[in-house]
Structure 1
Amino acid sequence: MKRIEFDKETLKAIGNTYIFGVYAYQDDGRFVFVNDAFCKLVGYNKEELLSGKIKLLDLIKDNFRDRAKSLIDRRVSGEFFSREFSELLYITKNRQTKPALNFGYTIMYNANHQAL
């Protein structure tokens, strides 16, 4: 499978063109990119999500976390797979849950395996 490398500007250009939520995270689950649609879904602003204080798993309902963690671990360890679909329940800032269909790609960003 071909490895896809992104720089910051390309990641922003791609993510900001979608009407649905887009995010990228690094090995510890911290966000490196979020678009406006994802912020609207979870109720946090970009600064909050990119601060490093909120990690992806913090926003995923308990019964979905094990599967999400497994996918994160596989991606950041270097396993490349083009997409993995999963249903998740996100926990919003005001503690509501919102269902979403997730799909992701393994990418290279800042010379590290990450997910988009």
Structure 2
Amino acid sequence: MEDALRTTISYWHWKKSNGEDFDAPNNFLIKALKENWHPYKWDDKWMENQMFKSEGMKSWDEAEVHWGKDQRNYLVVDIQETIIGTRATIIFRSGKSIDLRKVSRMTWEELLEYAEGGYRKLC
């Protein structure tokens, strides 16, 4: 599966560098999965593009911006996501967990208080 995703992302970069649109990425990915394609060219930096990050990974990055890397790493034990990244749950060291959809209705200060164990009212 990883090779098929990398092949799709690699092709997207190639199309973009040639000024072309990538019209059917889902169809391309399905074909890459079925035919076990491998990327011709790959650069790990491509995964830094926000377009290719799951909502859980975007939240992980945002938490570093708002809380700092050390505090985020201390508070967040795990971010569990469905295989296609459509649902995510943040697991905190305090033993609490929260669905990412609820997080979107909170401020970063409220989420910090919740992560530390003190936030009572849940959106």
The structure having more radius of gyration, on CA atoms, is 2
Structure with bigger RCO (C-alpha 8 Å, 6+ apart)? 1
If the length of structure 2 is used for normalisation, what is the TM-score? 0.26
Q: Which has the higher strand share?
A: 1
If the length of structure 1 is used for normalisation, what is the TM-score? 0.27
Q: Which has the higher helix share?
A: 2
